[in-house]
Amino acid sequence: MTNAELKKIATKIAKCLALATSDNPGEAAAAKRQADALMKKYNLTSGEVAAADVHEKSADIGSPYRPPVYLSHLANVIAEAFGCGGVFHRGFLMENTCANFFGLGIKPELAAYTFDVLRRQLAKDRTAYSATLKRYKRANRIRKADLFCEAWVYRIGEQVNAFAGNESEKVAIDAYKQKRYAAGLKADTRAGAVAKQNNDWQASAAGYKAAEDVSLHKPVQAKRGALLGAR
């Protein structure tokens, strides 16, 4: 069965399941029977039906290498803010690593666009901060810059209250993730940068302050209008 065929059948089943919640007992029962019959006929689970409407959008991180820990944290923050799931596809040779966001409606597009905008802003702020560290050894500069970035992302994360979706969306996203990535997904268990010098706190303070005027939702306004206008 092709993805297009699956989506068509899943949409029909979803409509039946929606009717199964009708206040009319006869209509609800008939719709539930039809949904069960279709799932049995096409050997589909309720999770596969839910996952059929989930799609992905990717954002290039600018290099083929494993993303630094702070970018993984940024992707997680954005995925949660937009009610999406997220994974990284590791690049190879001339192919860059990408952050993939999956969800419903225009949320994956908004998440990917926001990640791209904020990643670029973070890279710009990191470069500017690193320029102030010329008197330090290379290892110390890198550590302090990483601490700066992690605090920057932490400040952005404070704008997120909770998963920006409802329970049915979460079920669909979880089902999609299980079907699409269960076989080869590896958890990122790396720890972030660790402060080693007494003044390392200054790097974190600088990163937190640099992100004070950065809005997680500002990039969304223009992108949302463009996406809705194109549909």
pTM greater than 0.85 (yes/no) = no
Question: Based on the domain organization, do 27 and 105 belong to the same domain?
Answer: no
Question: Based on the domain organization, do 67 and 166 belong to the same domain?
Answer: yes
13-34 residue pLDDT tens: 878 877 888 888 888 889 889 8
**pLDDT of 227 over the 70 cut:** no
Question: Based on the domain organization, do 82 and 153 belong to the same domain?
Answer: yes
Question: Based on the domain organization, do 25 and 116 belong to the same domain?
Answer: no
Residue 142's pLDDT is what? 95
Question: Based on the domain organization, do 35 and 61 belong to the same domain?
Answer: no
b/e burial code for range 191-202 (CB count within 10 A of at least 16 → b): ebbeeeeeebee
Question: Based on the domain organization, do 140 and 67 belong to the same domain?
Answer: yes
Question: Based on the domain organization, do 164 and 97 belong to the same domain?
Answer: yes
Residue 126's pLDDT is what? 97
Domain that holds residue 9: 3-51
- With beta carbons less than 8 A apart as the criterion, state whether 169 and 55 touch: no
Question: Based on the domain organization, do 166 and 87 belong to the same domain?
Answer: yes
Residue 162's pLDDT is what? 60
- With beta carbons less than 8 A apart as the criterion, state whether 9 and 38 touch: yes
64-98 residue pLDDT tens: 888 999 999 999 999 999 999 999 988 887 899 99
When divided into structural domains, the chain yields a total of 2
Question: Based on the domain organization, do 43 and 71 belong to the same domain?
Answer: no
Question: Based on the domain organization, do 122 and 42 belong to the same domain?
Answer: no
**pLDDT of 5 over the 80 cut:** no
106-155 residue pLDDT tens: 899 999 999 999 999 999 999 999 999 999 999 999 999 999 999 999 99
pLDDT category of residue 203 using cuts at 50, 70 and 90 = very high
- The CA distances from residue 73 to 51, 86, 122, in Å, are 25, 11, 12
- With beta carbons less than 8 A apart as the criterion, state whether 36 and 49 touch: no
Residue ending a domain, choose from 29, 51, 73: 51
